[in-house]
Amino acid sequence: MRDRGGHQSALIAGGGIGGLASALAISRAGGWDVRLFEKAPEFSEVGAGIQLGPNVTKVLHGWGLASALAEVAAFPEKLQVCSAITGELLGELPLGQTIAARYGAPYATVHRADLHGVLLDAVHQTDTRLHTDRALQGFSQTPQAVSAQTADALDVEGDVLIGADGLWSAVRQQLLGDGAPRRTGHLAYRTLMKQSDLPEALRSNNVTAWLGPRMHIVQYPVRGGDWLNVVALLEGEVTDGTDPWDHEANAADVSAATAGACAPLQDLVATLQGWRVWQLCDRQPMQGAWQQALGRVALLGDAAHPMLPYLAQGAGMAIEDAAELGHVLAVARDPAFEVPTMLQRYALNRWQRNRLVQARALRNARIFHASGLLRWGRDLSMKLLGEKLLDMPWLYGAAPKAGNF
């Protein structure tokens, strides 16, 4: 469906990190008119901090966003893993210049809203048309085109539709019809505090993971190191009627979960305020390329492969997806390469890596929250092989293509 100028049209559902990354990558591919539809009245992000491994910052740097990222992110010097019970250091991985030299890009920690803002500013520099308060709620496709309908009865037509509409993706439900995500039995309590408001002993410029039975807590700096982001990941369920924004009740939950923890961790939890809770959902690891693209419709990020945050790669895989989309749709500018064929190439190049990350996140959930003999073996292994276990060349290096694991 090329216009007179030879351009093709890409429709994107969702204006979160994945949707904006897709818009930027496809715009950079050239020869594409991009329209993005966000159901919220304005572009924004909820949540707190996220970690960006060098596999992700390398993509962002490649898009010319190194300076913009550096203005809002922190760049921790090391990742350390500690026992939540004894406070003992179990293992550590140098970050900073060490990891940047090893993989060609730094390890960054950033507030989700700040990363979203960096991407939104970059998209504003393109010709992407952004539509807020307008959700895509249905689509139909033929071998030649895809047509989508908005909630306010607008029909739009394009050459490709990207479902970047998150965990509860409407595009996925129409494309695959495989039901709702599953509850994992895990909860994420998140909060942020200015480091200057914390006692000096509790301030940190490192990523620290405190591992305990049926729980763990991760802390790291964001916003140039001025704020400390803390996430408590506990096993449990949010019952109906529980208010996720009830700070007092949430603080009590985290305090109860860390009642047997070491003094430094208990001091940290007692000092923090403003806890908010999210019930974590995911899907089984991907089973095939068909779950990421069919015909002229492709899925990206949580719409395709939602995962537990125990590898800190949810946003990272969405950004990697977007980069791959940009690559294949750049090729699709040539009339000799049909869009459905190139979307299938995108899916083939992504699904196995996404499946592996999903599976490793599930495995980490068991390891991080271990008790008994498994916990003893984990701690011993970490003491003996800490850096080797924490470094992940398969993840932080270049994203492999299908079949290369």
Residues annotated as catalytic (active site), given as ranges: 220
Nearest to 156, CA basis, from 167, 148, 145, 144: 148
d(CA 151, CA 303) in angstroms, rounded, equals 19
DSSP state of 286: P
Residues 6+ apart with CB under 8 A from 363: none
Phi/psi at 281 (nearest 5 deg)?
A: -125, 155
What is the rounded CA–CA span in Å between residue 127 and residue 345? 26
Contacts (Cβ under 8 Å, ≥6 apart) of 373 = none
Q: How far is CA 200 from the centre of its chain?
A: 31
Distance of CA 147 to the CA centre of its chain: 28
3-state secondary structure of 85: coil
Distance of alpha carbon 351 from alpha carbon 343, whole angstroms: 12
List the Cα angle 392/396/401 in 5-degree steps: 105
Residue with tokens 């993840």: 395
Helices assigned H by DSSP within 227-305: 247-257, 263-271
